[in-house]
Structure formats: C-alpha cells, structure tokens
Amino acid sequence: MRWLLISLEIFIYTNNVFCQNRQEQRMLMLEQKIFQTPHDSIKNSLYLQKFNISLGDQDYQRSYFELRRVRERYINDSLIESNFYWNAALISKLSGDFQYANIFYDSYLDFTSDTSLSSLILGMLIKSDIDSSAFYNFRDQYEYTSHNEVSACFEKLLSFKLKRKWAYILCSYLVPGSGTLLSGDFYNGIGSLVTLSGFSYGVSQLVKSKLYFGAGIWSYLFLPRVYFGNIRLTVAKIKELEKKKKSKLVYSCEQKVKELLNNNPIDFRLNE
C-alpha cells in the first residue's frame, strides 16, 4: 500500500512536470506568475524571461511581441541590460522595425561603447536601413579601416540612382516608344510606336473619308490614352531598370556581407 501511494505521487508529479516542461506550458506558467504578482520590477523580470525564452526557441514574432512589454529601467544588472539592448536591436531589425532597431542599437552603444567588429557590422546594417545620412554619420564616427569594401559597397548602394531619367521621359514625349526602347524593353517600345502611329494613320484616313465625327471620337477616345499610356509605361520601365541595376549591386554587397558575417557572426546573446 505504501509503495502504491508513493508511486502514485511520483506519477502525478512527473506527469505534471512533464506537461509543464513543454514550451507553451512554460510560457503559460510565466504569464500566470505575471498575473499574480503586483510588483512591476518582478513583472519586468518575468517579461524579460519570456522574451529570452522565445528568442531561444527562435519564435521571433512572439519575442518581438514580448519585447514591447519589457521596461529597461527596471533592469538592474548591467550584463543583462546590455544583452537586452543587443537582442532588442537584433529582433527589431529582423522584424522590420528599423526605427526601434536604431533606438535600441544606439542605447546599446551608449551603454557599452562596444566597437567590436560584430557590433559595428550590426550598426552598419541597421543604419543603412534608416537613411543615407544616418549611415554616413555612423561610418564617420566609427572609422573602421578593415573591411572598407563593405562600407564602400553600402555607400554605393545608398547613393545609387539611375542617371538622366528625364532623358527617357523626354524621348517618350517626342517620339512615343523611344523612351521604352532606350530603357531596354524592345517589344513594348516598338508596340507603342506601332500602336500610336497605327491609330494616327486610322484617324487621318477617317478625316480623308470625311468622317469627321468618327475621327474626332476615335482620336478623343484612344489617342490621348495611348500617348500618355506610353509615357506611364516608360516611367514604369525606368523604375524596373533602376531596380534591376540596383539588384546587381545588392547581390555583390550581399556576398561581401555574408563573407564578413561568416567570420564575425552576429547572434542573440542568451547566456544569463
């Protein structure tokens, strides 16, 4: 009887512990503790725990959600605080929230003054998402002489603009289809030329046949649409061309950054 009771107790305990060890159960238990505690500092440490657990499980959506509940003013330990800023900057960048990534990264730099290569690489990646002036200020402030080709690559990317866009559009205004041809789309360029000239020829034939109403109506309905449509098409093709040229630069930059990251990996700091 005694052994039966003991084994029953062990069974209940391990069953519960086994259930509690599952990830969602763990998060639920933490949330229950958060609910029960009245103290903000204890709540904050539990929020931080949830944040770190979800980071460890690579559930980035959830960790980004938990991040917004953490208040850094309640964190007393300097190592935990610096790790928090680092993780927050990284998770914000991964979630596409570049402004917050920038804020957290600046807080990290202010707190630690970390000028290691990993930190500078992360800074470079975050600042380049904001705008070019933020990137240049950062690069000038932290002049790192090694791996200059990466920063040069980013600089080229940020300052990239297709030259003389106005020329394509002016060509389209003067000779419909020429702007599209120059931007590289041969078939659409010829198509614009043929369509507009075809319609114009048709309208002129109608005028010759003394069908003035018909000529007026067809020209009113179609000629402006085709003419301005051709210009809108040229603008769209210019954007495509710019994107295409930029993507080549992006690819080469990506290869350089990958190489750099292989040697200096950036990861979450989860050792508590």
The correct pick among 45, 63, 119, 192 for binding another protein (CB under 8 A) is: 192
Does the protein bind another protein through residue 213 (CB under 8 A)? Answer: yes
Near another protein by CB under 8 A, which window of 19-27, 111-119, 132-140, 159-167?
A: 19-27
| Closer residue to another protein, CB minimum distance, 236 or 250 | 236
| Closer residue to another protein, CB minimum distance, 94 or 226 | 226
Query: Tokens standing for 71?
Result: 């208040």
Provide the Cα torsion 265, 105, 134, 252; round to 10°: 20
| Closer residue to another protein, CB minimum distance, 120 or 206 | 206
Does the protein bind another protein through residue 258 (CB under 8 A)? Answer: no
Q: Rule CB under 8 A: which of 217-236 touch another protein? A: 217-218, 220-221, 225-226, 229-230, 232-233, 236
Give the side-chain half-sphere CA count within 13 A for 62: 16
Of 111, 260, 107, 238, which is closest to residue 163 (Cα–Cα)? 238
The correct pick among 31, 77, 149, 254 for binding another protein (CB under 8 A) is: 31
Long-range Cβ contacts of 198-206 (<8 Å, 24+ apart): 199/223, 199/226
For the bound state, the minimum distance from the C-beta of residue 85 to another protein, rounded and expressed in Å, comes to 24
Does the protein bind another protein through residue 191 (CB under 8 A)? Answer: yes
State which amino acid sits at residue 236.
Answer: A
The correct pick among 14, 115, 209, 263 for binding another protein (CB under 8 A) is: 209
Near another protein by CB under 8 A, which window of 1-9, 73-81, 150-158, 159-167?
A: 1-9
* Residues of this chain that bind another protein (CB under 8 A): 1-2, 5-6, 8-9, 12-13, 16, 19, 24-25, 27-28, 31-32, 35, 62, 65, 69, 188, 191-192, 195, 206, 209-214, 217-218, 220-221, 225-226, 229-230, 232-233, 236
